[in-house]
Structure 1
């Protein structure tokens, strides 16, 4: 019993230490995720005859080329469309006030003009304040050499730490497994395999699904000529981390933009077709091939995990929320199986099994 209390105290101390060091842990957590994602590719290159160091270097070269490609092709387009969205916001609000609000008033008999006008003024004031705050914050960061150096240091740490973690990943996991108490090692290894399957399905599979959906939505909306098509498509792909949230948000925003832009029904049908095609590809190709039924996180659990992680640990918590939730799900599933096989759950059934075994 005393040993168990020491284990609980040690875990509590570890949690306290992680909370205390949270401001400096972000680059290390990001590096761990990147190393975990890149380890299977490095292992495959190593199996083809390359050395571990050369395999890791090839993985880093591929990641660097992908990052450069995204920066060159995607970031300018997103920045331009985001600027256009900011410029068109007053016109959109004016159209809603002049066209949509009177129709709602005619149908419901409610006077919404005053409330909407106040909401519009508050939104525009807050939007301007947000822009001013962002500009002020950027100016302060630029003037503060210490803060700027900390940001640059964290960014520079990520590739360095990722390289060394990826280089020694197999050795680190082997040493961790060898240090476990022998009576715990089979159980821990079994749970680790299940956690790895869930994490691999989520981190590799779900990210690829989100990326593919974002590309499908962005290309489809751009071909239709919808303004902000790339921005809406990628945001809908990111929102697809919660099932059906991406298509609901994306089709709502895209339909509103298309109707405001064209004023016709036919573009709305095109928007619906784009998102329907994306859902068809996801359900028939992406989900079965990349995810299967390994994750099993309920949409409500996904939302709660993201909000709880962000509230407890900020940006680091958002990054780690879903992987940690997936691991907790595996542990809870194991506890549930053990509970149902215990005398606490069904003493008569387990007692009869013991008598039969005797």
Structure 2
């Protein structure tokens, strides 16, 4: 069989069905909109994610007899309270600690250079002066690039402030109407799809519970891990506790890699502040315990409907979607990988099931 015949057989098997072709078009258009219009529609997508998170609370209140509109208002007021607390309490604290860290960086750099000199004196055969100079040169270049990025960020601060104002105004409005008119919006979206959408429904059913569990569970995991890390760092008197806790909290977005990456700044700040003392060791051990409890206790409890993906698939998805869409690509890497897996499994099964039903209907008519 020639390559052309094999390709034609593959096309006939997967795309001879009208719904399969429509599904492919919908997916291509959806990805195209996100890739080319993602920055423009970022407030909409942000509101969509937040509404998805809050819908669980609205549904819970409705199951306990609260009217829909009242449930939406209560959940929305809670969301606004969290947003105001974030804007007026947490963000200024993180910003002040970030400014303090930048101001203290030269002193930390000097301490690091002194540490390298001490290593060279203690282990002259292991650490040579040339190696120290190379390390200092690399660190200096990184510091210069960091300063340039900070300058660029400050010059673009007006645009960032305007974008933040747009988010603070548009996103809550969009979230409220997405919660209030959810049925209307879902009905309108479904009306744009073909009436016969058995394959689409099957694929959505296979991934809906997993995506809902993942997104809400990951949000809760970030809050819990970040809060515990902040309390732990503050207990040991580690400077920049809020900044480091936010970093540790968001590190759970990237499985396997995030915990390792977040270890470096935590260990560096603890090392520069405490030196190579028992206090430094206690901070590192406490951080390791937090990561161990997160991976072995918190994750199994939160993600009861576990996403059955191989670790290699998860890492590839994080690298691929994170490279395309940045933060949101990392956040939705596992749901998107789940979508692809659902497509791979449900698409051929849906086509085979439809063909079998057509054969049964034909035999029944005869």
Determine if the TM-score, normalized by the shorter chain, exceeds 0.5. yes
**Greater mean alpha carbon deviation, residues 224-233 or residues 269-278:** 269-278
Structure 1 unaligned regions, length at least 5: 343-358
Is 1:269 aligned to 2:281, yes or no? yes
Q: What is the aligned residue count?
A: 334
Q: Which residue of 1 aligns with 2:90?
A: 74
Matched, 1:115 2:134: yes
Structure 1 residues 247 and 177: CA distance shift in structure 2, 3 A: same
- Quote the Cα distance in structure 2 between the aligned partners of 1:10 and 1:189: 13
Q: Tell me, yes or no, if structure 1 residue 195 matches structure 2 residue 202.
A: no
User: In structure 2, how many angstroms separate the alpha carbons of the residues matched to 1:43 and 1:271?
Assistant: 41
Check 1:243–1:132 CA distance in 2 against 1; reply closer, same or farther (3 A cut): closer
Q: Could you say what secondary structure the match of 1:112 adopts?
A: helix
- Is 2:48 the partner of 1:35? no
Aligned to 1:138: 157
Distance in 2 separating the partners of 1:302 and 1:5: 26
Q: TM-score, normalised by structure 2?
A: 0.77
Tell me if 1:54 matches 2:73.
Answer: no
Of 129, 132, 135, 2:148 maps to 129
Secondary structure of 1:50's counterpart equals coil
Distance 1:19 1:263 in 2: 46
> Could you tell me the TM-score, scaled by structure 1's length?
0.79
Q: Choose 281-290 or 176-185, whichever is displaced more.
A: 176-185
Of 152, 176, 180, 1:163 maps to 176
Q: 1:247, 1:275 within 8 Å by CA — same for their partners in 2?
A: no
Structural mapping, 1:1-358, within 5 Å: 1=16, 3=18, 7=22, 8=24, 12-13=28-29, 15-100=31-116, 103=119, 106-110=124-128, 111-139=130-158, 141=159, 148=162, 152-173=165-186, 184-185=197-198, 187-283=199-295, 285-292=297-304, 294-313=306-325, 317-318=329-330, 320-334=332-346
Partner Cα distance (1:311, 1:283) in 2: 25
- Note the C-alpha offset of 1:69: 2.2
- Matched residue, 2:358: none
Moved more, 52-61 or 256-265: 256-265
User: Whole-Å Cα distance in 1 between the matches of residues 30 and 300 of structure 2?
Assistant: 38
Mapped partners of 1:313, 1:284: distance in 2? 29
State the distance in 2 between where 1:296 and 1:9 align: 27
Q: 1:265 to 1:250 in 2, by over 3 A?
A: farther
1:226 and 1:254 in contact (8 A); partners too: no
Between the aligned partners of 1:3 and 1:247, the Cα distance in structure 2 is 45
Q: 1:51 to 1:289 in 2, by over 3 A?
A: same
Structure 2 unpaired stretches of 5+: 1-15, 354-366
Q: Distance in 2 between matches of 1:6 and 1:198?
A: 25
CA distance in 2, matches of 1:313, 1:293: 26
C-alpha deviation, 1:35, in angstroms: 1.5
Hey, what's the Cα distance between the residues in 1 that align with 2:314 and 2:47? 23
CA pair 213-318 structure 1, distance change in 2 beyond 3 A = closer
Report deviation, 1:174.
5.2
CA RMSD, Structure 1 to Structure 2 (Å): 3.4
Of structures 1 and 2, the one with the larger relative CO (CA 8 A, separation 6+) is 2
Cα separation, 1, equivalents of 2:255 and 2:215: 15
Distance 1:246 1:153, change over 3 A: closer
CA displacement at 1:74 relative to structure 2: 1.9
Residue 11 of structure 1: how far off its partner (Å): 5.2
SS in 1 for 2:156: helix
The offset of 1:78, in angstroms, is 1.2
Indicate if the aligned counterparts of 2:225 and 2:249 stay in contact, CA closer than 8 A: yes
Structure 1 residue 151 displacement after superposition: 6.0
Q: 1:226 to 1:300 in 2, by over 3 A?
A: farther
